[in-house]
Amino acid sequence: MAAVNALRWSPVAGADRYRVTVFDATGGVVFVADVSDTAVAFPDSVALVPGASYLWKVNARTGFDRWAASELAEFSIAAPRRR
């Protein structure tokens, strides 16, 4: 499994901004970013733990400053392969 260094999603019609939020298994916020693109890279300051589960969602800002939220999606980081 490849390392997760970015999250990508499909565009929402009429959206001009996206807010990406990543949560740990306890619901604590690990990362938040406001972007205009449909992808966000994790900065080096965000250390995701191999084997840990995370949840993420995207909120899309559409007309009249309305926000539409995606469902929560789960992902985890694979442990590095031993050679």
- Residue 32: pLDDT above 70? yes
Q: Give 5-17 as a DSSP string.
A: -EEE----TT--E
pLDDT band at 1, cuts 50/70/90? very low
68: its two tokens: 């539409």
pLDDT band at 78, cuts 50/70/90? confident
- Residue 3: pLDDT above 80? no
What are the backbone dihedrals phi and psi of residue 64, each rounded to the nearest 5 degrees, phi first?
60, 30
CA atoms within 13 A on the CB side of 59: 10
Q: What's the rounded Cα separation, in Å, for the pair 59 and 71?
A: 9
- Residue 4: pLDDT above 70? no
